[in-house]
Amino acid sequence: MKPINVGLLGIGTVGGGTFTVLKRNQEEITRRAGRPIRITMVADRNVEKAREITGGDVRVTDDAFAVVTDPEVDIVVELIGGYGVAKDLVLKAIENGKHVVTANKALIATHGNEIFAAAQAKNVMVAFEAAVAGGIPIIKALREGLTANRIEWIAGIINGTTNFILSEMRDKGLPFDVVLKEAQRLGYAEADPTFDVEGVDAAHKLTIMAAIAFGIPVHFDKAHVEGITKLHAEDIKYAEQLGYRIKLLGLTRHTPEGVELRVHPTLIPAKRLIANVEGAMNAVLVKGDAVGATLYYGKGAGAEPTASAVIADLVDVTRMHTSDPENRVPHLAFQPDAMVDLPILPLAEVQTSYYLRLRVEDRPGVLAEITRILADQSISIDAMIQKEPGEGEEQTDIILLTHLTREKHIDAAIAKIESLPVVKAKIIRLRLEELL
């Protein structure tokens, strides 16, 4: 059968991996897809490197627009990243009737609505399995595997860099800065790690999963995004004593008042499987009303794991490209005319539990003052540790875990507690999820 011709934009880490895996597993992939899938054209700024990798059979150009307009190209694979030229290229490819496969989470999370509308109008597919959790087929699971369910919530470890850093901080008791440097040295963190450690990358991926899970547009701008840069090693230790691990979770939950969309360090019970996902690995826990909790685990980044997702999309598009658009899997899992725009819940209204660490004077009555303020906000306490002060010290730490409350109530309580003269430092506040 006639091969499918792929135009590749960007032959860096993931692009190179895609080329390698497509070539190495050519026979196996053809046996599955029913026809050969071959990269016939590559655009990269570094034309020489691109020629070196592709070896000669492939047309190489430094003009990406030449690829997205080429009449021979059936599917464009966009691996440039970012929302600048990548957006123009994807829209131009769609305009030219090309199907698009992309690993670009930033693009989909911020401009997905516009891109999917354009694709819809031109009857082409935009596939983005590689945009979330690398090689784990989580988009497919959400969009096709769990169609029977009302999805209740999703909690994901969807950034390998931060999970590696948190694992090391816990293992070795080291502070964030030190571990970050080690992660950079080992290649787990980039020279400018901001997007990862500030939670932006995780929020991109979370936004995409929320859209698919609930049939809503992408709303990256409304996500609460909080990274791990302010996390202290001692809170990881205290959490452990209380039976919890701290993970940077992307959380989205369907509530009657709106959709929660938040990324922040989170205490989770150490006995949960997802709490034991270590190093640079990713995992996504999905709660459906029929299926219960299901978990998906694997490598969230890297050349070949990401290529695995890119190629799975290529096979899907190859299988479906001649079929009636209405028989295809919809981009955001729900049919375009069946999307709804649920409100995103402001953080102040989110209900969760809290971990609080308070630096206080070591004298009788302190705890009573604190618990009275919490009680006034209807916040009840689930567990507590009060440290013995060190030899000659007059201050000590109190660690509290609360039951479920609203963020605005804990905000109010914290403001009042911090104004007590016996409280000697800003309160450390982390969120806690049981994930049941």
To the nearest whole angstrom, how small is the minimum distance from the Cβ of residue 204 to a second copy? 21
Nearer to a second copy, 33 or 42 (CB): 33
Cα–Cα distance, 290 to 149 (Å, whole number): 6
Return the H-helix or E-strand segment holding 413.
helix 407-418
Nearer to a second copy, 259 or 370 (CB): 259
Q: 43: which 2 tokens? A: 């655009």
The DSSP bridge pattern shows strands 351-361 and 395-402 to be antiparallel
Distances (CA, A) of 215 to 49, 61, 85, 147, 254: 41, 39, 28, 11, 11
**Of 356, 376, 358, 337, whose CA–CA distance to 420 is shortest?**
358
Interface with a second copy by CB under 8 A: which residues? 17, 21-22, 24-25, 28-34, 129, 134-137, 140-141, 144-150, 215, 273, 276-277, 288-299, 304-305, 307-312, 315-316, 319-324, 326-330, 333-335, 338
Cα–Cα distance, 169 to 166 (Å, whole number): 5
Q: What is the DSSP letter of 427?
A: P
Nearer to a second copy, 338 or 415 (CB): 338
Report the amino acid identity of residue 164: F
To the nearest whole angstrom, how small is the minimum distance from the Cβ of residue 300 to a second copy? 11
**Of 113, 47, 104, whose CA–CA distance to 76 is shortest?**
104
To the nearest whole angstrom, how small is the minimum distance from the Cβ of residue 8 to a second copy? 15
Cα–Cα distance, 313 to 6 (Å, whole number): 12
Check if the beta carbon of residue 18 is closer than 8 Å to that of residue 54.
no
| 3-state DSSP assignment of residue 411 | helix
Nearer to a second copy, 331 or 431 (CB): 331
To the nearest whole angstrom, how small is the minimum distance from the Cβ of residue 274 to a second copy? 9
Q: Choosing from 87, 98, 140, 205, which is the catalytic residue?
A: 205
Nearer to a second copy, 29 or 42 (CB): 29
Q: Is 247 a catalytic residue?
A: no
To the nearest whole angstrom, how small is the minimum distance from the Cβ of residue 147 to a second copy? 4
Q: Which residues are catalytic?
A: 205
